[in-house]
Structure formats: structure tokens, C-alpha cells
Amino acid sequence: MNSQIADLCRLIEEVREELIQLGANKPFTDPEVVKISQELDQLLNEYEFLRHDDRYEFERKWA
């Protein structure tokens, strides 16, 4: 897997864990939760872009 994609996958997992922790302690509408959720959305969009980019050989991490 391309190192850029591998790094992105690690970052997605870190932000996802942060969101889970925040969501367990704060309402989903809390500004901090919304901010982290939006950050995760951006990372997932970037991941999808790279996944469909023909310049990268892609190995599926999540099925």
C-alpha cells in the first residue's frame, strides 16, 4: 500500500477513536464533536479520492 494511503488510514483511525471518545461524553451537537466529525469526513473523502486515483495501487483495508 502506498505510504500516503497508509498514513491516511492511520490518521483516520486516530480521528475516529477521538470522535468515539468525545461522542461518549458529549452530545453529538457539541461544537467540538461536530468539528472532529467534519475532520473525519474530510479524511474519508481524501481516502476515497486516493482509492479511485489510478496513480495509486490500492489494497483494500476496509471491506
Contacts 24+ apart (CB under 8 A), 49-53: 50/2, 50/4, 50/5, 50/8, 51/5
C-alpha–C-alpha distance, residues 4 and 7, integer Å: 5
Number of domains forming the structure of the chain: 1
Q: What is the pLDDT of residue 51?
A: 82
Q: What is the pLDDT of residue 1?
A: 59
Q: Is residue 11 part of a domain?
A: no
**Model pTM score:** 0.79
Q: What is the pLDDT of residue 60?
A: 54
Q: What is the pLDDT of residue 57?
A: 59
Tell me how far apart the terminal alpha carbons of the chain are, to the nearest angstrom: 15
Q: Is residue 4 part of a domain?
A: no
Q: Is residue 1 part of a domain?
A: no
> What values do phi and psi take at 29, rounded to 5?
-90, 0
- Which residues span the domain enclosing 45? 27-55
User: Block means of pLDDT (10 residues each) for the chain, length 63 residues?
Assistant: 86 98 96 98 93 65 52
